[in-house]
Amino acid sequence: MEVSSLHPIKLYKVALLIVLLAGLLWVYHTFDPSEHAFFLPCPFHHLTGFLCPGCGSQRAIHHLLHGHIAAAFSLNPLLVLSLPLLMYGIYNKVYNYLFSTERRISLFYNKIFLYIYIGCVLFFWIFRNISE
């Protein structure tokens, strides 16, 4: 499908999304979440003292944007390993939105994959709290 046949409003919305995402990435690249108080703390960790599966993600994103993959992995390995799946899923959603298609990623709709992924998240959540 040609880009010229796309609806202009859809292109503007995707362009706005890209600009907002670029701005957010600039903030995470420029400011270290461990040194600035304007980043949101984890409410689960604040209330319980335990780490949730997402704890460390903001600092990990900061390190990834600086090319420090090992440091990011040490902060939140689940995020680092899930990022390619997340990026591909977002790409697919934007593609379907722009071109009005229903292209699906069969892996994401496979029950076995979902159970394994949820199991990995739960295992990670428990393991990171008992190992500290």
**pLDDT tens-digit series, residues 18-59:** 999 999 999 999 999 999 999 999 999 999 999 999 999 999
Q: Are 20 and 39 spatial neighbours (Cβ–Cβ below 8 Å)?
A: no
Domain count within the chain: 1
Which residue range(s) make up the domain with 124?
3-130
Q: Is the dihedral of CA 6, 8, 13, 16 positive or negative?
A: positive
pLDDT exceeds 90 at position 108: no
Spell out the alpha helix ranges (H) of the chain.
Answer: 8-30, 43-48, 57-65, 69-75, 77-99, 111-130
Above 70 in pLDDT, residue 5?
Answer: no
